[in-house]
Amino acid sequence: MHFDTVRNLETRVALDALLLLMGVSRLDVLYRKLLLTKMFIQGWGKPDDLKRIFEFRKLIGDREKCKNLVPKDYPVFIDKVEEQADCKILNGYFISPLEHFVPGIMPKESVKARFQFILPKEWKTKYKPVCIHLAGTGDHFFWRRRTLMARPMIKETSMASLLLENPYYGYRKPKDQLRSSLKNVSDLFVMGGALVLESAALLHWLEREGYWPLGMTGISMGGHMASLAVTNWPKPIPLVPCLSWSTASSVFTTGVLSKAVNWRELEKQYATHTVYEEEITRMLEYCGTDSFKMGQDFVKNAPSSLDNLRDLDITSDILGLQETPAEVLLEAHHTGVRNSGKGRLTGGREGTGCLDQTLSAVSSSSAHMDMLSAKTITKEDRRRCSLQRESLCFMKGVMDECTHIANFSVPVDPSLIIVVQAKEDAYIPRTGVRSLQEIWPGCEVRYLNGGHISAYLFKQGLFRQAIYDAFDRFLQKYSLSS
């Protein structure tokens, strides 16, 4: 058999082992295979845009510095009111505050923020609770959140919901963007920065209008964005992030969404433009130890898990795993790549040089990895593997810089946070990632059986219950002092 064929088969077997180690949902993997669109097709984004958003991240990462960025009287407008049988729906808009602080970084279609406010016909208690829902990946316009969350919440508890449209989605989607596929890595960071300030504008507006208590939630990406927004709010506030975790770096490097990333374009740009390594890398400040744990856990569990491969009733063809970032780890074994000390990302400080230790650990893990040994190594193999490794590490670095919860302030009262996670989530890997309990001491984490997709389809009622519980907890602690 040709060497490349053997190597591909060995790689697929090892990737199957990696999935088994992670205990991921097969439904998540199969569902992702049905979606053919690629993310970040234009690459990393303009270097100047990355620099500007990184500088802005430093500002919003500190609540004391940014708590007054959005004025309490920031203008919000209602342009349509609809009377429904079970509720009242207000449609509104305002200019995203991000446009004032980082002008021109958002596409013109995204500058005007739009929202729907779904209110009960009558309130069941003396309070007027409102929960802001941020959109998950692919959640365009408002109908999904309105149908699955807002209307049931009115029926069950008379709690109102405010649904904010994400930048790059729905009415705010750039004309040249295909569906939900962000064109640049930087677009995700712009979206996050915008939602942090837009959430503050809406919370101020709701307070002015007399609604209370106020809280935030979201599913998947929406949960993560809600978490970032709450880190900036200077008051205790209920937060229920569903199917999200502490960073987006694992989502795009080890989760099933990593297969949708246009890695070839990212590698090409990273190799061609030295500004990414020489200038942007120097701006990365996150110094967590997440990646070290990933390598250690893989090495610790690899022998027994690889022994169990014969019992895994799922083939690599079904998984449809081709060239994903996880393959880079295995390529490192073939090519014998080690820490060469070249560049800040592969041999530098702890926060951004971490992946190299993961690669080294995996490549020397045990005799069970010997099946991956290569007999024919070309210079091109070595060069490409090195580029893959550096691009992957750069992705982790920039993602952690702008999305890692530990890079932002701890919410005022973490006891008001109820995190809802799926045990076998293949979209939001937790292996090797710092836990939210470690970052937010006092928060509660509830685990659901199954994966990301099954939880989204069948566990909405549990998401809503977590919201009610968080609001009840808030009222128990703060109703007398309000």
Is residue 287, in this structure, part of any structural domain at all? Answer: yes
Q: Does 282 lie in the same domain as 232?
A: yes
pLDDT tens, position by position, 114-170: 999 999 999 999 999 999 999 988 889 999 999 999 999 999 999 999 999 999 999
Name residue 78's beta-bridge partners. Answer: 92
Q: Does 126 lie in the same domain as 26?
A: no
Q: Does 247 lie in the same domain as 109?
A: yes
Q: Does 460 lie in the same domain as 423?
A: yes
Is residue 143, in this structure, part of any structural domain at all? Answer: yes
Q: Does 118 lie in the same domain as 65?
A: yes
Q: Does 51 lie in the same domain as 26?
A: no
Q: Which residue range forms the structural domain that includes residue 163? A: 47-292+390-479
Is residue 443, in this structure, part of any structural domain at all? Answer: yes
Residue with tokens 């820490």, as numbered in its chain: 339
Q: Is 285 helix (H, G, I), strand (E, B) or coil?
A: coil
Is residue 159, in this structure, part of any structural domain at all? Answer: yes
Dihedral of alpha carbons 396, 399, 403, 407, sign:
positive
Number of domains the chain contains: 2
pLDDT tens, position by position, 368-384: 333 344 456 677 778 88
CATH code at 445? 3.40.50.1820
Q: Does 182 lie in the same domain as 56?
A: yes
What is the pLDDT at residue 291? 41
Q: Which of 23-32, 182-191, 271-280 has the lowest mean pLDDT?
A: 23-32
Is residue 426, in this structure, part of any structural domain at all? Answer: yes
The one-letter amino acid code at 207 reads E
Q: How far is CA 167 from the centre of its chain?
A: 15
What CA–CA distance (Å, rounded) separates 237 from 239? 6
Q: How far is CA 191 from the centre of its chain?
A: 11
Contact 432, 293 (CB under 8 A): yes
Nearest residue to 131 (alpha-carbon basis) of 458, 418, 442 = 418
Higher pLDDT, 374 or 267: 267
Q: Does 214 lie in the same domain as 145?
A: yes
What is the pLDDT at residue 307? 40
Quick one: pLDDT band at residue 444, thresholds 50, 70, 90? very high
Is residue 179, in this structure, part of any structural domain at all? Answer: yes
Higher pLDDT, 351 or 417: 417
What is the pLDDT at residue 362? 34
Q: Does 143 lie in the same domain as 268?
A: yes
Is residue 246, in this structure, part of any structural domain at all? Answer: yes
Is residue 108, in this structure, part of any structural domain at all? Answer: yes
Q: Does 168 lie in the same domain as 87?
A: yes
Residue 30 has pLDDT above 80, yes or no: no
Q: Does 8 lie in the same domain as 134?
A: no
Q: What is the DSSP string of 230-271?
A: HHH-SS---EEEES--S-SHHHHHTSGGGGGB-HHHHHHHHH
Tokens in use for 301? 């569990």
Which DSSP state fits 9? Answer: H
Q: Does 286 lie in the same domain as 169?
A: yes
Quick one: pLDDT band at residue 300, thresholds 50, 70, 90? very low
